[in-house]
Amino acid sequence: MEIPKMNNLVTFVKDDGLSTKEKFSIAKGKIVRFLFGFNNRKGFLLKFSIYTLLVCIGFVYLYPMLYMFITSIKSLEDLLDSSIRWIPSSFYSNNYQQAYSVMNIKHSLSGSLLIATVPTLFQVVVSALVGYGFARYNFPLKKLFFGLMLFSFIIPPQILMMPTYQLFNQLNLTGSLNAFIVPAALGQGLNSTIFILIFYQFFKQTPQSLYEAAEVDGASQFTCFFKIAIPMAVPAFIISFLFSFVWYWNETYLTTLYLTSQSTDITTVLLQLQQFQQNYEAIYPVTENSPNKINEGIKMAGTMISVLPLLIVYFFLQRYFVESVDRTGIAGE
């Protein structure tokens, strides 16, 4: 007997035209499909497992941020009160006011943006050119140069730190932004090898017929790069820019080595965060029974200020970042 299509399990159960065995079989099939899915649809158990895993991973990443923010808006009385853990008695903004003045945000933020943006632009452009060259052309010793590039990434940067500093010092690059711009412009910026490999893989997957058709129409190599390669590589540019920007923003050791050691006026938000307690005690001297003694809330406020620019950048660019990751999987020939 052909079983009519029903909308839900209740309709089957109430249908007097079906036997008990048929009702049980249909109900069992619906439950199995609901739990384990069918065709290309995921079942409830798989969805539950995936979302549970995502919630756990999200909690691991969000918990420190949430704890840091809650602590940063607590007053000293709330910090000392063991009964207050997550919900402070009031929003205490004085922590942020003190942290803002201690970290000299206007000056340090401009320095961080300068160090993170300018070398990033050079690095992305040069990485795209190098990756395009490796992907599109065959030239003598290509494999050797490619292997040397990979080998330069394998070497721990700490080994080359002092020789590089001596070289930059002899070239008068230390003490200025040139210590970051010149290496980035020569393909030796922070983790440049990763970005070259991203562009190399992307251009390698681009259909060669597009370039061949353009060359048949009389397009030069520069025209192929600017009119075909760059428009198709927008996702790779976005990914490289975001990662490079974050890495330059978070870099403190090289900034201290190249800039601070030469008594330059350039400083960054993270350098101010490293010197936070020292600068705080200089601005707010601690005396007996003084309310200005540094506490956990003020420290957390300074930390929140240091990560806030990156959160804002990601908030506005995360949609483009996700789309870029999806679009990097184009099929090639």
∠ CA 239-121-307, nearest 5°, is 65
Q: Is 230 in contact with 128 (CB distance < 8 Å)?
A: yes
- Give yes or no for a contact between 288 and 262, defined as CB atoms under 8 angstroms apart: no
Beta strand extents in 35-77 (DSSP E only): 37-38, 41-42
Please list the pLDDT of the chain residue by residue as tens digits (333 residues). Answer: 444 444 454 554 455 566 677 666 777 777 777 666 667 777 777 788 888 888 888 888 888 888 888 888 888 887 877 777 788 878 888 888 888 888 888 888 888 888 889 999 999 999 999 888 888 888 888 888 888 888 888 887 778 888 888 888 888 888 888 888 888 888 888 888 888 888 888 888 777 777 778 878 777 888 888 888 888 888 888 888 888 888 998 888 888 888 776 656 778 888 888 888 888 877 777 766 666 777 888 888 888 888 888 888 877 777 766 666 565 544 444
- Cα(331)–Cα(209) distance, integer angstroms: 12
CA 310, CA 38: separation in Å to the nearest integer? 42
* CATH architecture of structural domain 103-274: Orthogonal Bundle (1.10)
Domains of the chain, by residue range, sit at: 9-92, 103-274
For the CA atoms of 219, 221, 224, 230, what is the dihedral angle to 10 degrees? -160
DSSP state at residue 155? S
Q: Are residues 262 and 174 in contact, defined by beta-carbon separation less than 8 angstroms?
A: yes
**How far apart are alpha carbons 6 and 205 in whole angstroms?**
48
What are the angstrom distances between the C-alpha of 47 and each of 2, 29, 54, 57, 62?
32, 19, 10, 15, 22
